[in-house]
Amino acid sequence: MNGQVKRAFKFRFYPTEAQAAELLRTFGCVRKVYNLALQARTEAWTLRGERVGYATTSALLTGWKRTAEFAFLAEVSAVPLQQALRHLQTAFGNFFAKRARYPRFKSRKKSRASAEYTRSAFRWRDGALTLAKMAEPLDIRWSRPLPEGAVPSTATVSRDAAGRWFVSLLCEDLGVKPLPTTDATVGIDVGLDHLLVLSTGEKIDNPRHERRDRLVLARAQRTLCRKQKGSSNRAKARVNLARVHARIADRRTDHLHKITTRLVRENQALVIEDLAVSNMVRNRRLARAIDDAGWREFRQLLEYKANWYGRDVIVVDRWFPSSKLCSVCGALTAAMPLHVRTWTCGCGAIHDRDVNAARNIMAAGLAVPVCGAGVRPQRNPPGGQSATKQKTPRREPQDSSRSRADEVNSGTTRLHRRRAPACSHPR
């Protein structure tokens, strides 16, 4: 990291009635252009076998503005419409690279209402932001200062389901510098009883934000269900429900930011498991608790902050039996049900299930040679059981002379070391 990163700073603002009307009209036009371009590209391929790119859809946009049906597209700024076409091009690029599914049409009720303005579509003067087609600057609540001398390159305006308005300013931050190196390394095991358990033995409590507000959430949901569809009272109840969800999400994100920032500052290398969260939430009994814990968001925050500040994030393969392996002698237990929180190994070591798993994860991460960095973890082989579980031998208690590092170096684990890609995030 050279100290120059593109960083998004998100602020809340309060538009006037005229500004809100202009932005809502822009949001609708952005959504319409995206859907029209997606339909045109889909029909061109399915009917004629023709590939349509950004340049073609940009020319189509010019023609749409000249028709009587879509003449309203010319009433808003052209830049957000062009950015919508670029976003669609990016979506198709991710689809062809097999990083995402086929692009879907944007719904007026469910899709995110946003519009992106580039430098040519807004004026930045003396800390005031004025968007195209507007006479007055936005009334922004500057909760924190922008980097000294920073000039936004893009401004993304959005409105969430709770009716709150936000503007995200993308700037170059020259103040992000690698932290001083340290010898500290930590293994991290995520859970539900405790949000995180570290290899040092520290346990970070799970706040359970959704559970704490579950009664308020249930009351708001029942109120919404009793309202007649299409009525103004139902719209008010929907906004009230969205505010409850927004408060839960904001508290969760704030908590995860504080934890990840502390872990990155204190440790040079952080070892985590490569969990398939999307598959784990299919368990109906645990899905709500897993979503409330925010495991996926925790990993995203940890990775981009480690990339910013010169730290390493080492990811251990998801099939590594961290909970069933004794961190002292390396013996593998045949079964370890979830209700077993403390167990005794044949060597006499008494383990806390989560602390033992965190220590095994850290040992596995330290055993990775640097030359193997960047290798993606292998997945479960077609034959059924993973190679990790097949190769890991069951050890007798008397074989305690062999260290955990030797156990890992013998090839019984598969993991990879990676530097996370740069992420534009408000913190």
Tell me which residues are annotated as active site: 189, 273, 354
Best CA proximity match to 6, nearest among 160, 219, 151, 202? 151
Tokens 């090839």: give the residue.
411
Q: What is the DSSP letter of 107?
A: P
Place of tokens 């303005």: 117
Neighbouring residues of 192: CB distance < 8 A, sequence distance ≥ 6: 206, 286, 289, 290, 293
Element (H, E) at 194: strand 194-198
Tokens found for residue 367: 């055993």
What is the rounded CA–CA span in Å between residue 427 and residue 424? 9
Query: Which DSSP string corresponds to 131-181?
Result: ETT-SS---EE-SSPPPTT---SEEEEEE-TTS-EEEEEEEEETT--PPPP
- Choose among 179, 171, 174: nearest CA to 3: 174
For residue 54, give the amino acid letter. Y
